[in-house]
Amino acid sequence: LEVKNPLDVFEQAMKNIQPQMEVRSRRVGGANYQIPFEVKGQRQNHLTMMWFVAAARSHKGMGMADRIAVELTDAYNNTGIAVKKREDNHKMAEANRAFAHFARF
């Protein structure tokens, strides 16, 4: 069993959750399109923390400290609810890549 620096584990877990892309709804010509956008800076950090806390809250039957520990371990190992949320977000952006040209409006 290898002992790791807790700060390094936390930082890696957050990097594993951090989204690169997101979709936003735009109305173009009477139709709504899900348009992929790159996520930058402060919003990236905000989404990461929001998804992490929401994922931790969804673990039932234990205290919040244990929930955070479980989700942190899962995120570090690239599994868990928050990482799945990021993957779903990226899949949605990839699926709507054809509408990226609407992003400039």
Region 93-101: mean pLDDT is 94
The answer on pLDDT for 105 being more than 60 is no
pTM of the model: 0.89
Query: pLDDT tens digit string along 72-85?
Result: 999 999 999 999 99
Taking only the tens place, the pLDDT of each residue in 19-49 is: 999 999 999 899 999 999 999 999 999 999 9
Confidence (pLDDT) at 96: 95
Q: What is the CATH number of domain 6-104?
A: 1.10.455.10
List of residues 6+ apart from 93 with CB closer than 8 A = 21, 22, 23, 36
